[in-house]
Chains A and B, each alone.
Chain A
Amino acid sequence: MTRHQPPVPIRRILLALDASGTSVSAMEAAVQFASRMEAELLGLFVEDVNLLKFAALPFAREVGFPSARTRRLGSAEMERALRAQASLAQTALTAAAMRQGVRCSFRIVRGEVPEQVLEAANEVDLIAIGMTHRQVLRVSSATRLIAGTTPCPVLLLPSGASPQPPVLAVYDGSPESAQALLAAGRLAKMGNGVLTVLVPDAPSSLRQEIATQLEGSGLALRFNALPRMDLSTLMQALYRESVGTLVLGANLRLQKGTLDELLQRLNCAVLLIR
């Protein structure tokens, strides 16, 4: 058993923003995270070309949420709306960054959202994505695409959640989960010094591996054995632990769709490690 290399230090964080809106609380959480990591924050607002195309259609209309009123949309209105939204996001992000003393830049690009974000991801060490309206809408396909494709870690921030203790990692022995364990250990150390690890209910060798990985970290380790690695078992365990931040390896050996469903249901910050 070899000890894995420590994760790449996070120096630059990209906060992806688009027309679906990012709550102020998610921005605050991203800024806070950047501050803790002593990282620089890059706000990237993507003006979705699909929206502009749609607005140019003769019958383009939007149904307001939550007002449920149908409004006529035109290219000019869409341009204006996107500019306004970008401006609002920039103001809120800059203000939050100034408060926390985080270096921050803001960029507006036009194109397909996943493509633009993935392109920008080459410059950064972590992508943060705010998730809104999850009560009524499923996680957007763009978010899923980014989370599933990007080579760097992704921090998903539901409304009202921030990456805070208690920190919980899922470990199944895979290299990604080992990376996740180290990242979780780092987060836990910045928090309350306690790390809970969900492990499959298997031979105790896994626990030995974890202990070795985190040797000398000074963390208090708690283990929670899972009989199965399915959605409901995971959900129950996470609910019981009142988890604040969940750290996962992106290619966890789970049934298809389980990760999507987890992201859909969880109310805590989720850090996906690749």
Chain B
Amino acid sequence: MTPIKRLEPEALCARCDPAKFTFESTLELDDLTEVIGQSRAIQAIEFGIGIRRDGYNLFVLGNPGTGRHHVVHRFLESKAATETVPSDWCYVNNFGQAHRPRALKLPAGTGVKLCRDMEQLMEDLRSAIPAAFESEEYRTRRQELEQELKERQEHALEELRQQAEGHDIALIRTPSGMAFAPMRKKEVLSPEEFQRLPETERKRIEAVVTSLEEQLERIIHQLPQVRREGQQRIRELERDVTMSAVGHLIDELKKKYASLPEVVAYFEAVQQSVIANADDFRRQEEGPEISFLGIPISRAALGAAPLRRFQVNLLVDHSSTRGAPVVYEDNPTYQSLVGRVEHISQMGALVTDFTLIKPGALHRANGGYLILDVRKILMQPYAWEGLKRVLSSREVRIESLGQALSLISTVSLEPEPIPLDAKVVLLGERLLYYLLCYYDPDFGKLFKVAADFEDAMTRNEESDLLYARLIATLARNEKLLPLDRAACARVVEQSARMAADTEKLSIRLRDITDLLREADYMARKAGREIVTNVDVQSALDAKVHRNDRLRERLQEEIQRGTLLIDTQGECVGQVNGLSVVGLSDFIFGHPSRITARVRLGKGEVLDIQREVELGGPIHSKGVLILSGFLGARYAYDRPLSLSASLVFEQTYGEVEGDSASSAELYALLSALAEAPVKQSLAVTGSVNQHGEIQAIGGVNEKIEGFFDVCKSRGLTGEQGVLIPAANVKHLMLRHDVVEACAQGKFHVYPVRTADEGIELLTGLPAGERDANGLFPDGTINQRVEVKLLILAEQARVFAVQPEAEKPS
């Protein structure tokens, strides 16, 4: 087998050569107007914004920091600017059912005018109505009516009185009513005088009195009716007088708003209400302070209250809006989305009316776009359900949560729902998108367009320059110092490192912007007017230093021999594995000793990590694959009579991932072949059942972790790391590692198969089966096969029962 060649320094980091940039500093670069690397998401956004159909709302998914907010805002704003300004919305009193305020749709800018016109109308009426009631005409007519009423009442009794007098009978007042008494010489006839009268006369008097009493009864019965009629006529007069004051004012307004039939109908209702409640306009505003139980009551609350119903509550005002609105709701609670009805305290009780209806984000965004963070909306109680209900019904209905959940039975207001024509754009992580798709049956119907933001873009010659322009734009937007081209190149390299790929560049703009800000700080601290690659490197180093307390402690303990890691010499059944530790967004690698012990057994490979439940499922899978590989390669025609135990030494937490499975295999092969493994090498990579080495993650951090251990002990020139060949394209190693490799002090080996790996580690050939199907003598594979054969034979011997013990 051809020996594996170490990787050349060029392969260890895809450098960005500053020389290929033609500019001196980012000042010379134009702003980047297009969005780079997000063509799929951009197309989806364009489609989602363009299509005007129900349910085509957008979900913009991707990792935070990829510039989703910025891109979405930019696209929406440029699209919205070309669209028409949506209508204003007002709530006005419903004079028929006060608890159901009416919604009025008005052309943009008309809402403010209507508010002003109604205020003016009220002001006019406050003077016009009292003036009308002060007029000579009204006062005279009212006096006439009252007099007429009085006369009508008097008249009937007066006639009766005169009729009685004609018979010498007087109508007299008694303690509880009236009576008819026969008179003689202005005095009531005494009983004796009455008795002296002839009988016919007495009978006549009695008959007359009886008849008069009947008439009196009738008259008294009719009095209330007469009074009602009189009052009705007075009311009609008052209506006429009010109408004379209101009519022409309302007519003017009707003419002004003639093109809006709903508004005209509203004015009709206002007119009727003003006429029916003219007294509200006649009340004196001055007077002593009103108090109740010693508490002064605000005159504004009492006096103005009756006229509040003629106000216009301008819910959405687009008088100064250009284009369609783009609204971002940072705090999407249920009420901040659908609006709310506020209350004011009056005499200790909470009261409300239509003027206290407040708009929500959906009202403000109606006719345009509403941007929401899905995580925030899901964290607010009932906000998600509220949003879905609005989107499904296509109308915004303002209900308090108490009402919506039927917790409160005293319904205060039920404002007329407002039709919704807005596109909602949700921003969120991928996980949330997929969870919603899976668990929420409504989600797919309401958010049909997904715009998926990439984390990285493809890297090539042109992209580096494009990226430099992106850097220039971000620096300018953030008002940072310009970067020289070396600094730009360093940022591009760091971007590839963030993407962990030589062929990709990270487009997580937040991280790049943070780096630029920190480099700017370093440059200013050093008194420079331009950011150089030194500043970028200082910023990177400083960031690592801020976060690497744990890494340093691990390195220190390895150095001090607390954590046992050999970096020279040889040992059987012991391999340096590599693992990564992720802490927030800082990840680092460090070596772990992996050991294997073998003995006669029943073919099981014991993973100690798994036995003590410190191994994750993927780790366990890797170990089980080893058994498959061993059995198939070395013992396919006989029992695998082996018992092996594998362990990550000195690990005290859970181990997950299969990137150590190749290291475990090498330790096992070394133990079986009894071939010592070079401790100057460390290994990473997973293995499959055919012995092929497969790619793993965090390759850069793993190499650097082992390099740091070796470097602190002194580089011998023997040390290096075996990595899967498939990971070579991911190598973006630190400059000091690349430097050491260039000087031959450290090595990185790309490995394709387990055979290649074991050869490097043991210095012995792996061996391939010859024509007879046998491995050549002295090769690792032969030694393993022989060992397994011996174990199988021993197992067979142990399995055969001795003769003596056979039953007779």
Contacts and interface: CB of A to CB of B under 8 A. Distances in A.
Answer yes or no: are A and B bound together in one complex: yes
Interface string B181-219: 110000111110010000000000110011001001100
B177 A64 contact: yes
Nearest to A81: B175
B153 A61 contact: no
A58 B194 CA distance: 9
A65 B188 contact: no
Nearest to A133: B173
12 contacts: A53-B189, A54-B181, A56-B190, A59-B205, A62-B174, A63-B179, A63-B220, A66-B223, A68-B216, A73-B179, A81-B175, A81-B176
A94 B194 CA distance: 40
Given A73-B179, A137-B157, A138-B158, A54 B188 contact: yes
A19 interface: yes
B140 interface: yes
A51 B172 contact: yes
Interface string A18-36: 0111000000000000000
A176 B176 CA distance: 38
Contacts of A137: 154, 157, 173
A221 interface: no
A65 B190 contact: no
A53 B177 CA distance: 17
Interface of B: 139-140, 143, 147, 150, 153-154, 157-158, 161, 172-179, 181-182, 187-191, 194, 205-206, 209-210, 213, 216-217, 220-221, 223-224
Interface of A: 19-21, 50-51, 53-54, 56-71, 73, 78, 81-82, 84-85, 135-138, 140, 235-236, 239-240, 265
Contacts of A65: 176-178, 220
B179 A53 contact: no
A235 B143 CA distance: 10
B173 A19 contact: yes
Contacts of A265: 147, 150
B190 to A, nearest CB: 5
B154 A63 contact: no
A62 B154 contact: no
Nearest 5 pairs of A and B residues by beta carbon: A68-B220, A20-B173, A81-B175, A50-B188, A54-B181
A68 B175 contact: no
A140 B174 CA distance: 12
A41 to B, nearest CB: 23
A71 B150 CA distance: 27
B182 A62 contact: no
A136 B177 contact: no
A53 B193 CA distance: 10
Nearest to B149: A135
Nearest to B209: A59
A64 B176 contact: yes
Given A65-B176, A65-B220, A66-B220, 5 more contacts: A21-B175, A50-B181, A64-B176, A68-B221, A81-B175
A201 B620 CA distance: 122
B150 to A, nearest CB: 6
Contacts of B224: 66
Contacts of B216: 63, 68
B143 A63 contact: no
A82 B221 CA distance: 26
A16 B191 CA distance: 28
A61 B176 contact: no
A82 B233 CA distance: 40
Contacts of A20: 173
Nearest to A137: B157
A265 B151 CA distance: 10
B693 to A, nearest CB: 110
A62 B171 CA distance: 10
Nearest to B176: A64
A136 B174 contact: no
B176 A62 contact: yes
A149 B523 CA distance: 116
A56 B153 contact: no
Q: Which of B177, B181, B187, B210 has most A Cβ within 10 Å? A: B177
A19 B153 CA distance: 22
A67 to B, nearest CB: 8
Contacts of B158: 138
B175 A63 contact: no
Contact of A53 (B188, B210, B223): B188
A37 B106 CA distance: 67
A140 B206 CA distance: 24
A66 B176 CA distance: 9
B176 A60 contact: no
A68 B154 contact: no
Given A50-B188, A60-B179, A62-B179, A136 B172 contact: no
Contacts of A71: 177
Contacts of A138: 154, 157-158, 161
Given A50-B181, A137-B157, A140-B173, A58 B191 contact: yes
A78 B181 CA distance: 14
A135 B153 contact: yes
A128 B177 CA distance: 23
Nearest to A80: B175
Nearest to B187: A50
B188 A61 contact: no
B224 to A, nearest CB: 8
A87 to B, nearest CB: 12
Nearest to A48: B172
A73 B174 contact: yes
A235 to B, nearest CB: 8
Contacts of B190: 53, 56
Nearest to A85: B175
A63 B191 contact: no
A61 B191 contact: no
B226 to A, nearest CB: 9
Q: Give the one of B176, B182, B189 with max A CB within 10 A.
A: B176
A89 to B, nearest CB: 11
A170 B213 CA distance: 42
Nearest to B216: A63
Contacts of B143: 235-236, 239
Nearest to A136: B153
Contacts of B191: 53, 56-58
Contacts of B173: 19-21, 137, 140
